[in-house]
Structure 1
Amino acid sequence: MSQTLDQLNAATPGDALALLDGTYEHSPWIAQRALAARPFRSLAHLKHALVKAVAAASADEQLGLIRAHPELAGKAMVSKTLTAESTHEQGKAGLTDCTPEEFAKIQQLNADYNAKFGFPFILAVRGPRGTGLSKREIIDTFERRLHHHPAFELGEALRNIHRIAEIRLDDKFGADVSLGNDVWDWQEALSAHTDPGYAEKGQLTVTYLTDAHRACAAQISGLMRDCGFDSVHIDAVGNVVGRYEGATPDAKALLTGSHYDTVRNGGKYDGRLGIFVPMACVRELKRQGRRLPFAFEVVGFAEEEGQRYKATFLGSGALIGHFDPRWLDQKDADGITMREAMQHAGLKLEDIPKIQRDPARYLGFVEVHIEQGPVLTEFDIPLGIVTSINGGVRYVGEMIGMASHAGTTPMGRRRDAAAAVAELILFAEQRAAKDGDSVATVGMLEVPSGSINVVPGRCKFSLDIRAPNDPQRDAVVRDVLAALQEIADRRGVRFVIEEAMRAAAAPSAPEWQQRWEKAVESLGVPLYRMPSGAGHDAMKLHEVMPQAMLFVRGINSGISHNPLESSTNDDIQLAVEAFQHLLDNLAAEQAH
């Protein structure tokens, strides 16, 4: 029989400690310190109190906790001296049933890892869904993490220990994460569709209006119908639109959604999480036979990434009347125009203007999205409240110096274009860091027809600068461009630079940000406010209606635009519950 939080909150210190026994391997001190935070408001609150106890511990205590864990398929497993919990977990992942080759491989990895880091490799082998990783996934992860920096790997070990503890607590308290599991499974099923050339490599790539893209739209449409939406259709640009009507026919609607296209060799969660989380909410409303005082519209945007055609935010842009007819003549890598692709997909170009929404019919736009960064995972916090989507400016430039002989040109007489750009990179890095939340990146760097024995005469570069508000962004731009001029003058080189993109920051509407905060607060999860460094569909809707976003923590240090992008069933469960709270609170507001 599973325990309850009420039992834990009411228990004597000794009994409470016994109730949490085995949560953290051979380390009762963690539960002992966390119990000072009683009463726990939720299981998520208890989990965070345990995480905080570890975070506040000394470096020696943290290392002791890591070293208290057994090696995977190691000596303790062979001698059958694992704890009951570890035996169960390693068994679920098939580690108690290794072939001699697999066993030898894991033993070697254990030895190499221990030699490099001085502690055992720790992985939550029950995985992000709680059902167990395959041996292949475990060995691949082991090999990948062997190359990490020691400080990073220490953090990764602790994060995996917290995930192991989370799953053990779910078991102890009989946690219901069925909504998180369903959303996780929907994403897994959708990732079966991928563009030609990528399927063979086992990579996920879904670009605008390919067969895989249209198969995704059909699958999302079918799921929406299964969930109980009143109407589902694919609009004139390929957006999948599901609508769950309000209690009255004239009710305004809350708009939500995200995109279902991906970058090349991307992850399964970017965008898609923001379609499936609200779909789970609609399914629960339908099951309860419940109508809200407002309609709820969920949109799977057809295009956000700008991969097949240079038309970023096409799906959400079309909803605000920003579809540019000139895009139709753009050609993809195979010479197919967007017009041809749309006609092939059976989309009616003449209907595009009709899909523009009237903002007066909407309460606002909210979006759930995987964080796509390391912040939440490093703070061990499952959900983040987005304060603003950063504004950005991009430039492409070229530094022009003088190509000359690397052996005969004295250092003081060089006009080295690459060295000048290198200096610019370091300045941009230092200047952005001064603000704390500004970022500056030189992501492309090229010495055209460079040679090992020639001082670079030309160097092409890109520059990407972002900040949570436009004045802050513009101040960084001003300083970086001034430094560029100063570096060029001092080094006797010249440059050409052109602005390639400019996007305004999109601060969250305060009342909608507060609605997310109230929803997250009621889960017993700590409130963490943060800007979004990446662009999102919410930026487009921001131009015509109030918007606010909720971030969900990613695993694997929050990596995104990468096959390792993932989240756990527990964090997704919390996202669905937060969305349900937002809907309930909004319904209560409308009733008054």
Structure 2
Amino acid sequence: MPLTLQELNAATPEAAAQMLDGLYEHTPWIAAQALAARPFGSLAALKHAMVRVLAQAPREAQVALVRAHPELAGKAMVAQTLTAESTNEQSKAGLTQCTPEEFARIQQLNADYNARFGFPFILAVRGPRGTGLAKQEIIDTFARRLDNPPDFELAEALRNIHRIAEIRLNDKFGVVPQLGNDVWDWQEKLAQHSDPGYAEKGQLTVTYLTDAHRACAQRISHWMHDCGFDEVEIDAVGNVVGRYHPAVAGAKYLLTGSHYDTVRNGGKYDGRLGIFVPMASVRELRRAGRRLPFGVEVVAFAEEEGQRYKATFLGSGALIGDFQPAWLEQKDADGITLRQAMQHAGLCIDDIPKLRRDPARYLGFVEVHIEQGPVLNGLDLPLGIVTSINGSARYVCEMLGMASHAGTTPMDQRRDAATGVAELALYLEKRAARDGDSVATIGQLQVPSGSVNVVPGRCQFSLDLRAPTDAQRDALVADVLAELAAIAARRGLRYTAELSMKASAAPSSAPWQQRWERAVQALGVPLHRMPSGAGHDAMKLHEVMPQAMLFVRGLNGGISHNPLESTTSDDMQLAVDAFTHVLNQIATETP
């Protein structure tokens, strides 16, 4: 019989420790110490209690835990001395049925990894879905992580150990994250559609109104019908809109959703997670035959990334009346105008103005999104509360000095454009760090026609400056531009700085942020508040209605816009549960 939290909470310390035996390989003290935090209201709370215990342990104890684990397809497997849990996990991943070539490759990786780090390679081989990774994915991950810095790799090993423990805990308690699995499966199936030139390479790219993009829209609309939405349509810009009606006609709607287009060679979860999480919640409402005192409108926005055309936020912008007719004449790389693409897709351009929503008919907008960053992953937290979407400013810049011979020009007589920009880059680090939550980046840096033996006379570079509030962003911009001027003057250089983009910050609505916070707390997950450095559809809706976002932890260092972008079905389950909790909160608040 599966364990229950009631049994665990009521057991003696010795009995409770025995119940949790085997979660951490040959290391029972982690679960034993975590039991001091009883009673646990949820498995999530128990999981985080164990995370906290290990985080507070000395480094020596952490390394000892890693070394307590067997190598993948290693000597212990050959000698059949693995624990029952490890045997089950390595078997599910197919590691007990390696070909001679696969076995030899893994043995070499084991040797190289141990030589570099001094502990065995740890990977949760049952994977983010819990059903097992393919052998080639395991080998590829093994090889990739060999290049990690040692401190990062130790942290990554511990994160994988926590994932192993999470899956083992689910097994002990008979818990299956079924809604998280469903969300996972939807995303896997949607990722089967990719643009030509990328699909053949196994890469995911879905740009606005391509065949793959339109196939995604059809799939999402079919799934919305299957989930029980009362109305489903593909609107005049390609948004897929599903409405679940309120209990009483004429009541307001909660607006939610995210985008289904991707960057080139991107990930499966950016945007799409925020479509499928609310879809799962609505499906459960329909299955329960339950109507809320408000409606739920889920929008799969057709375009957010600006990959095919320069018109970004085209899908969410249309909902607030921000669709510029001039955009229709923009051309893609093949010379196809936006107008032609929309006409070819059968969209009615004349109907675009009708998409504008009346804010008075909506309660607000909420969005669930993968974090796209390393913060939650580094903290071993599944969910984060977004306090604000950062305001940003971008500049295209050039530093101008004097090109001269690298061998004959004395150091005190140089006017080196590149070192001027290098000095600015170091200032950016210090200035942004001073705020704590500002960020500043020189993402593009080049010396046109540069040569190894020439002092650079020109250096072209970009500036990307972001902060949670407009005032903080503007102060950052002012300081950086002032320092740029001071560096140029001190070094005898000239410069240009052209503003190429400026976006206002979108602070979360306090009442809506608090609803997310109550939902996360109810799940037993610690609260972590954080700004969003990336832009989201919520920024557009923020212009006309209150908004707030929930972040979901990403794996692999939180990487996004990348094939390695990932999260677990357990974290997705928590996101669905949190979204449903928000719905229930609003239901109790709404007359």
TM-score, normalised via structure 1 length: 0.99
2:77 and 2:564 mapped to 1: Cα distance?
Answer: 28
- Structure 2 CA distance, aligned partners of 1:504 and 1:299? 23
User: What is the aligned partner in structure 2 of residue 47 from structure 1?
Assistant: 47
1:329 aligns with 2:329: yes
Equivalent residue for 2:250?
250
Q: What is the CA distance between 1:267 and its match in structure 2?
A: 0.2
Q: Which residue of 1 aligns with 2:550?
A: 550
C-alpha separation between the residues in 2 aligned to 1:50 and 1:480?
43
Q: What letter is aligned with 2:283?
A: R
Aligned position for 2:30: 30
Q: Distance in 2 between matches of 1:425 and 1:17?
A: 52
Give 1:524 shift.
Answer: 0.8
1:167 aligns with 2:163: no
Residue 476 of structure 1 corresponds to 476
Q: What is residue 279 of structure 1 aligned with on the other side? A: 279
Please report how far the alpha carbon of residue 390 of structure 1 lies from its aligned counterpart in structure 2 after TM superposition: 0.5
Query: In the TM superposition, what is the alpha-carbon distance from 1:273 to its structure 2 partner?
Result: 0.1
Partner Cα distance (1:493, 1:581) in 2:
58
1:73-109 residue CA offsets vs partner (Å, 9 max, x unmatched)? 0000000000000000000000000001100100000
**Counterpart amino acid of residue 102 in structure 1:** E
Paired with 1:116 and 1:151, the residues of 2 have a C-alpha distance of 12
Equivalent residue, structure 2, for 1:290: 290
Matches within 5 A, 1:214-363: 214-363=214-363
- Amino acid corresponding to residue 303 of structure 1 in structure 2: E
Q: CA deviation at 1:333?
A: 0.4
User: CA offset at residue 37 of structure 1?
Assistant: 0.2
User: Which string of whole-angstrom CA distances, capped at 9 and with x for unpartnered residues, describes residues 402-456 of structure 1?
Assistant: 1111111111111111111111111111110111100000000111111111111
Residue identity matched to 2:143: E
**What are the Cα deviations for residues 174-199 of structure 1, in whole angstroms up to 9, with x where unaligned?**
11310000000000000001111101
- Partners of 1:385 and 1:237 in 2: how far apart? 30
SS in structure 2 of the partner of residue 226 of structure 1? helix
Corresponding residue number in structure 1 for 2:384: 384
Structure 2 letter corresponding to 1:164: I
- Give the Cα–Cα distance (whole angstroms) in 2 for the partners of residues 579 and 262 of structure 1: 24
Query: What are the superposed Cα offsets for residues 114-136 of structure 1, whole Å, 9 maximum, x if unpaired?
Result: 00000000000000000000000
Q: Secondary structure of 1:44's match?
A: helix
Which residue pairs with 1:394 in the alignment?
394
Structure 1 residue matching 2:463: 3-state secondary structure? strand
Residue 590 of structure 2 is matched in structure 1 by 590
Q: CA deviation at 1:24?
A: 0.5
For residues 95-114 of structure 1, the aligned pairs below 5 Å read 95-114=95-114
> Structure 1 residue runs of 4+, over 3 Å off?
none
Percent identity reads 76
Q: Secondary structure at the match of 2:170?
A: helix
Deviations 1:320-370 (A, max 9, x none): 000011111100000000000000000111000000000000000000000
User: C-alpha separation between the residues in 1 aligned to 2:413 and 2:127?
Assistant: 58
Amino acid at match of 1:137: E
Q: Which residue of 1 aligns with 2:500?
A: 500
- Cα separation, 1, equivalents of 2:506 and 2:229: 30
* Partners of 1:556 and 1:493 in 2: CA distance: 42
CA distance in structure 2 between the aligned counterparts of 1:457 and 1:329, rounded to whole angstroms = 38
Q: Which residues in structure 2 correspond to 1:554-565 (within 5 Å)?
A: 554-565=554-565
Distance 1:243 1:280 in 2: 13
- Between the aligned partners of 1:466 and 1:188, the Cα distance in structure 2 is 33
* Matched letter for residue 552 of structure 2: V
Distance 1:435 1:127 in 2: 37
What residue number does 1:70 align with? 70
**Separation in 2, partners of 1:468, 1:106:** 45
- Does residue 1:366 correspond to 2:360, yes or no? no
Distance 1:81 1:202 in 2: 38
Per-residue CA distance 1:560-590 (angstroms, 9 max, x = gap): 0100001001000000000011001110111
| Distance across 2 between alignment mates of 1:399 and 1:375 | 34
The match for 1:458 is 458
- 2:181 is equivalent to residue 181 of structure 1: yes
The equivalent of 2:209 in structure 1 is 209
**For 1:532-587, what per-residue CA distance to the aligned partner results, in whole angstroms no more than 9, with x for missing partners?**
01010000000000000000001111110100001001000000000011001110
The answer for the alignment partner of 1:420 in structure 2 is 420
Paired AA for residue 248 in structure 1: V
Separation (CA, whole Å) in 1 of partners of 2:259 and 2:465: 24
The aligned counterpart of 1:513 is 513
Q: CA deviation at 1:137?
A: 0.3
Most deviating of 31-40 and 398-407: 398-407
Which SS does the other structure have where 1:248 is aligned?
A: coil
Shift of 1:167: 0.1
Secondary structure, counterpart of 2:590 in structure 1:
helix
Per the TM alignment, residue 474 of structure 1 is displaced from its structure 2 partner at its CA by 0.9
Residues in 1 aligned to 2:104 and 2:66: alpha-carbon distance in whole angstroms: 23
User: Secondary structure of 1:31's partner?
Assistant: helix
What SS class does the counterpart of residue 386 from structure 1 fall into? strand
CA displacement, residues 485-520 of structure 1 (integer Å, 9 cap, x when unaligned): 011011111011100000011000000000011111
Q: Which amino acid aligns with 1:304?
A: E
Structure 2 residue matching 1:257: 3-state secondary structure: strand
Q: CA deviation at 1:228?
A: 0.5
For 1:400 and 1:385, how far apart are their aligned partners in 2?
44
Match of 1:139 in 2: 139
* Aligned residue identity for 2:134: S
TM-score by length of 2: 1.00
Pairwise CA distance, 1:32: 1.1
Q: Distance in 1 between matches of 2:529 and 2:434?
A: 20
One-letter amino acid matched to 2:27: S
**Distance between the aligned counterparts of 1:325 and 1:395, measured in 2?**
26
What amino acid sits opposite 1:98 in the alignment?
C
Q: Which runs of 5+ in 1 are unaligned?
A: none
Distance across 2 between alignment mates of 1:373 and 1:20: 32
Tell me the number of residue pairs that the alignment of Structure 1 and Structure 2 aligns: 591
Q: 1:81, 1:329 → 2: CA distance?
A: 68
Could you tell me which amino acid in structure 2 is paired with residue 488 of structure 1?
A
Distance 2:200 2:566 in 1: 21
Hey, what's the Cα distance between the residues in 1 that align with 2:447 and 2:107? 45
Provide the C-alpha distance between the structure 2 equivalents of 1:427 and 1:523, rounded to a whole number of angstroms. 42
CA shift, 1:54, in A, is 0.5
